[in-house]
Structure 1
Amino acid sequence: MDPVTALQLADWRRATAALYARVREQADPAAAHALWRAGRDGLMSSHPQSALPEDDPLRVTGVPYWPYDPALRFAVPVEPAAEHKRLEIDTGADGVTRLEQVGWVTIPAPVGRRLALWWLDQYGGGLFLPVRDATAGGASYGGGRYLLDTAKGADLGSDGRHIVIDFNFTYHPSCRYDPRWVCPLAPAENTIDVPINAGERLSPLRPGRWPV
């Protein structure tokens, strides 16, 4: 990695972490979501490390989302996993991404499903929660979306026992926008059969792509 790219990437992560810190300070979840949307659109439209190609119309229109749904925000306990599970995911030039399951989160109705919570077993580490729901391949990217990626600052908060899961903050990985990115996608433990009509969705300006 050249020095300019390294500095730009560090700035992107710094800005993302600062944005989520402001989100966590908000008492009103809907206002926090509006703040997040505006901040993320600003980064996606102008930051040199944006995943959007320079001519992408989403730089002007903003990334599309479903309306905020307060019924899709939860604070849930992390349940221990019965077995020690590890995954190794080939992420191209970035090498192998190693995931270690740290537990499960059971999401109440209207989702009513269980998702695996992972730890990125690399330098620095971080909690990682991808999800591929029944909208994938239609209204959202076929490879799924991300709920949390604390290594990159995407963190909605926890109290040491419960973790905040708000599907309205679900966002597409960079590989949804540009094939130069190779992203770890949702494994079987994070694939569910119900639609989650919240968070980032596909734009009618640009069809979704299944990962190749």
Structure 2
Amino acid sequence: MAEPADPHTTLALADWRRRVNELYAAVRVAPDPQAAWRMWRAERDDLLAVHARSPLSEEQKRTFTGLTVFDYDPSFRFTPDLDPVADAAAYGIDIGQDGSISLLPFARTRGLAAALGGELTLYWIGGYGGGVFLPFADPHTATYTGGRYLLDGIKGADLGRTDAGSPILDFNFAYNPSCAYNAPDQPSAGWVCPLAPAENHLAYPVPVGEQGFYTCT
């Protein structure tokens, strides 16, 4: 029989998700994307520094002074068209102690290749409630090699849509998955995250959003 969940841990996770949802709700209605980005940065730093469900260990929190983030660049804000993915099949990804999730490719962007060196697949997260998920990786030497997230419906990371229905993909809001904070000498002792699949590896560097937590070598 599985051990019962710690109610304090469960409520802390619920609070983390609530704060992230509220943050992105404020981002979506902000009239100035760069001001929204500054607010997003400040809240991300606060969550990682003090929250009980921060992916940082207590040792990491003691020396944490804020995430390293590229400067804001409005040229990395896009509203691409979407094409449906034909004959898509869902596949499962193991996420450690949290079990597994099912990802169904449902759309492919049209209009990013000239700037980013490739298009991106959007996924629907299977299960009750679901949500849109957009991971990607790029070859910049200062970003986490496993890739970053731009949209994650489970966590409330949603930048909104245009009146015409196109998703707002502002890569200035790209953030690291929790596994980016695993200590390099103990990668198996920390977080397990779904990483960017090969089809979402871009050819060009994306010098906006969060940089890698550990120095790349």
TM-score for the superposition, normalised by structure 1: 0.90
User: Where does residue 149 of structure 2 map in the other structure?
Assistant: 146
User: Where does residue 119 of structure 1 map in the other structure?
Assistant: 124
1:11-64 CA deviation, whole Å, 9 max, x = no partner?
A: 000000000111111111111100100111111111100011122268642011
More moved, 99-108 vs 56-65: 56-65
Unpaired segments ≥5 residues, structure 1:
none
Q: Given the alignment, which residue of 11, 21, 28 partners 1:17?
A: 21
Letter in 2 for 1:43: L
Q: Distance in 2 between matches of 1:207 and 1:41?
A: 18
Is the Cα contact below 8 Å between 2:49 and 2:61 reproduced in 1?
Answer: no
Q: Given the alignment, which residue of 98, 102, 106 partners 1:98?
A: 102
Is the Cα contact below 8 Å between 2:83 and 2:107 reproduced in 1?
Answer: yes
User: Where does residue 215 of structure 2 map in the other structure?
Assistant: 207
CA RMSD in angstroms, aligned pairs only: 1.8
The secondary structure found in structure 2 opposite 1:114 is: coil
Unpaired segments ≥5 residues, structure 2:
183-188
Letter in 1 for 2:172: N
Letter in 1 for 2:119: R
Residue correspondence of structure 1 range 4-153 to structure 2 within 5 A? 4-56=8-60, 60-106=64-110, 107=112, 109-135=114-140, 138-153=141-156
Q: Distance in 1 between matches of 2:87 and 2:198?
A: 15
**1:82 Cα deviation (Å)?**
2.1
The secondary structure found in structure 2 opposite 1:38 is: helix
Letter in 1 for 2:157: A
Q: Which of the two has higher C-alpha Rg?
A: 2
Q: Distance in 2 between matches of 1:129 and 1:50?
A: 21
Q: Distance in 1 between matches of 2:117 and 2:194?
A: 24
Q: Distance in 2 between matches of 1:163 and 1:34?
A: 21
Letter in 1 for 2:196: A
Q: Given the alignment, which residue of 170, 187, 212 partners 2:197?
A: 187
Letter in 2 for 1:167: F
Q: Distance in 1 between matches of 2:202 and 2:117?
A: 10
Q: Distance in 1 between matches of 2:192 and 2:160?
A: 27
Q: Distance in 1 between matches of 2:42 and 2:22?
A: 13
**1:81 Cα deviation (Å)?**
0.9
Give the % identical residues.
46
1:112-141 CA deviation, whole Å, 9 max, x = no partner?
A: 421000000122110000001112xx3111
The secondary structure found in structure 2 opposite 1:79 is: strand
The secondary structure found in structure 1 opposite 2:35 is: helix
Letter in 2 for 1:124: G
Q: Distance in 1 between matches of 2:208 and 2:175?
A: 10
Is the Cα contact below 8 Å between 1:45 and 1:59 reproduced in 2?
Answer: no
The secondary structure found in structure 1 opposite 2:134 is: strand
Letter in 1 for 2:130: G
Q: Distance in 1 between matches of 2:144 and 2:212?
A: 7
Q: Given the alignment, which residue of 157, 161, 179 partners 1:158?
A: 161
Query: CA 1:57/1:46 → structure 2, altered by over 3 Å: closer, same or farther?
Result: closer
Is the Cα contact below 8 Å between 2:70 and 2:210 reproduced in 1?
Answer: yes
